[in-house]
Chains A and B, each alone.
Chain A
């Protein structure tokens, strides 16, 4: 019973959504189901948020390893919740846009969340460098091709690349590094991406059919269908 209900819901909704693509009166059904999903997901947040608070309170209570971080987490959680719900400092009052300039919520966003997010994202610059140092080595023929392409793209994205091949006449402009970089992105890269995308599309079809037919049940913890 515990498995039959989710499997039935999946089979019915999956089939109806596939069929609705071909039946005009049902064509909005996809949107409706997305909406249902969003509503359920919002309620599920109580589970997630509640879990987060419970785990960190527990950690704090029992003074487990690294309990200091839990104070920061809990403070951040409740601080944002309160100033967002009560719209503290919002010039428009309780009925206004929560992100109005001047509200505590917006200020926290601008001066805390914004720099924190940017910092995490900025780590990419460092990691790209260390990953490419390790990965781009001419170990075999394919790796050498990859290395060459990487060189051209990297140079092509800088004014340095423009300078390097500025002497190439206009009639041979394809050989200029920036244009060569665009060509790599536009032709070989594109062909490869499309092949991957076609494969993904077919993979999704086959996986969805397995799920709808109830053959794939490993996510329910079963080995056999």
Chain B
């Protein structure tokens, strides 16, 4: 009987404490606090358990990753960024081009890569339009065109109602043929893209008055890490056409592009971190954009926590390994 009473008492105290904290802290802080407590408490418990050389079930790892990713999405935790040189190089290039320069942005990715790549594509599109550059949008991926339409109609254009189709920007859409498309547009756009997505002939679009081929462009950014992607833009357009190219790619592909930086690639935005750094630079340079949507910065919360969880599990794994070896030796 006394045991039950004690449990009830403890439960009541716990509920009072939880309610008290809930009253003191706003919901967002509360969510952050509880999820962090959950993650780090759990990790410490697993760490202690690892001393007995007990392996962790993969489902427990999955659970931790789930909480580490979901919690900061529900209760955003944001960090300040320090742009690395590879990202700053791209930002500075867009910034230093004189207004009215023509920039081509190619959306070469699919929905799977979109969470990583679309934020940076949106940020750079925004930056170019803000600077007054003329922007040509296109895609080498069939699925990229739909995402491009999505970016333009939902995110970019509503922020720039004064920009006119054909004068300030144009969407020439997707063309099948992978590297073959690049091989042609390096010397002639019209041959591959006779019209834009709205079936307006290229000859009637003001942006293309001075642009015959990729050689006439001032800057190209290719988003996406698949094939064809940034590497193909360098090999088939950047190098032969003498145009500056930058890349925005999924984090897993970034290491493959380092051989091209800085000689053949102006800079590289790798994954969510690259997007976050770019968004941070953009907000810092243009205070009036402080309210813009920054998915890159927001996603750094989940990324940071997930990395910490992974690092902790690597440590736990090693403790288990060494304890296990000692046990074997002892036997």
Residue numbers of A with Cβ under 8 A of B are 31, 34-35, 38, 97, 99, 101, 106, 109-110, 113-115, 117-118, 120-122, 125-126, 128-130, 132-134, 136-139, 147, 150-151, 154-155, 157-160, 162, 178-179, 182, 185-186, 189-190, 193-194
How far is the CB of B7 from the nearest CB of chain A, in Å? Answer: 36
How many residues of B are counted as interface, with CB atoms below 8 angstroms from the partner's CB atoms?
57
A157-B317 contact, Cβ under 8 Å, with A110-B150, A193-B256: no
Q: Is the CB of B308 within 8 A of A136?
A: no
Within 250-285 of B, Cβ neighbours of A (below 8 Å) are at 251, 254-256, 258-259, 271, 273
B112 CB-CB contact with A under 8 Å? yes
* Additional 19 contacts, C-beta under 8 A, given A99-B145, A130-B58, A182-B84: A99-B146, A106-B149, A110-B146, A110-B150, A118-B114, A125-B65, A126-B65, A126-B66, A129-B306, A132-B313, A133-B58, A133-B314, A138-B318, A154-B310, A157-B307, A158-B273, A158-B300, A160-B307, A185-B254
Q: Is the CB of B251 within 8 A of A139?
A: no
Can you give 11 A-B contacts (C-beta < 8 A)? Answer: A125-B69, A129-B65, A132-B310, A133-B58, A136-B318, A137-B318, A138-B321, A158-B300, A158-B308, A190-B259, A193-B255
Q: Which of B114, B273, B311, B317 meets A134, CB within 8 Å?
A: B317
Chain B window 72-86, contacts with chain A (Cβ cutoff 8 Å), 1 for yes, 0 for no: 000000011110111
B289: chain A residues at CB < 8 Å are: none
Q: Could you say which of B113, B150, B153, B251 has the most chain A C-beta atoms within 10 Å of its C-beta? A: B150
Q: Is the CB of A117 within 8 A of B311?
A: no
CB nearest neighbor in B for A105: B146
B151 CB-CB contact with A under 8 Å? no
B251: chain A residues at CB < 8 Å are: 157
How far is the CB of B186 from the nearest CB of chain A, in Å? Answer: 13
The number of inter-chain residue pairs (CB within 8 angstroms) is 126
A97: chain B residues at CB < 8 Å are: 173, 197
Q: Is the CB of A34 within 8 A of B180?
A: yes
B79: chain A residues at CB < 8 Å are: 159
A136: chain B residues at CB < 8 Å are: 314, 317-318
A194-B259 contact, Cβ under 8 Å, with A133-B314, A159-B80: yes
Q: Which of B66, B111, B258, B314 meets A114, CB within 8 Å?
A: B111
Q: Which of A38, A115, A162, A185 meets B258, CB within 8 Å?
A: A185
For the residues of A in contact with B, the DSSP-based class is: helix
Q: Which of A121, A129, A130, A179 meets B113, CB within 8 Å?
A: A121
Q: Is the CB of B314 within 8 A of A147?
A: yes
B314: chain A residues at CB < 8 Å are: 132-133, 136, 147, 150-151
B153: chain A residues at CB < 8 Å are: 101
Q: Is the CB of B114 within 8 A of A159?
A: no
Q: Is the CB of A118 within 8 A of B311?
A: no
Q: Is the CB of A159 within 8 A of B304?
A: yes
How far is the CB of A118 from the nearest CB of chain B, in Å? Answer: 6
Docked pose: A115 CA to B114 CA in angstroms:
11
A137-B317 contact, Cβ under 8 Å, with A154-B310, A157-B307, A158-B304: yes
A151: chain B residues at CB < 8 Å are: 311, 314
Q: Is the CB of A99 within 8 A of B149?
A: yes
CB nearest neighbor in A for B310: A129
A117-B259 contact, Cβ under 8 Å, with A97-B173, A133-B56, A158-B307: no
Docked pose: A179 CA to B85 CA in angstroms:
9
Q: Is the CB of B259 within 8 A of A130?
A: no
Q: Is the CB of A190 within 8 A of B258?
A: yes
Q: Is the CB of B273 within 8 A of A133?
A: no
B32 CB-CB contact with A under 8 Å? no
B317: chain A residues at CB < 8 Å are: 133-134, 136-137
B65: chain A residues at CB < 8 Å are: 125-126, 129
Q: Could you say which of A31, A101, A129, A133 has the most chain B C-beta atoms within 10 Å of its C-beta? A: A133
Q: Is the CB of B303 within 8 A of A158?
A: yes
Q: Is the CB of B307 within 8 A of A155?
A: yes
Docked pose: A29 CA to B236 CA in angstroms:
16
Q: Is the CB of B61 within 8 A of A130?
A: yes
B168: chain A residues at CB < 8 Å are: none
Q: Is the CB of A159 within 8 A of B113?
A: no
Q: Which of A113, A138, A155, A193 meets B111, CB within 8 Å?
A: A113
CB nearest neighbor in A for B251: A157
Q: Is the CB of A130 within 8 A of B254?
A: no
A109-B69 contact, Cβ under 8 Å, with A97-B173, A182-B86: no
B84: chain A residues at CB < 8 Å are: 178-179, 182
How far is the CB of A115 from the nearest CB of chain B, in Å? Answer: 8
CB nearest neighbor in A for B59: A130
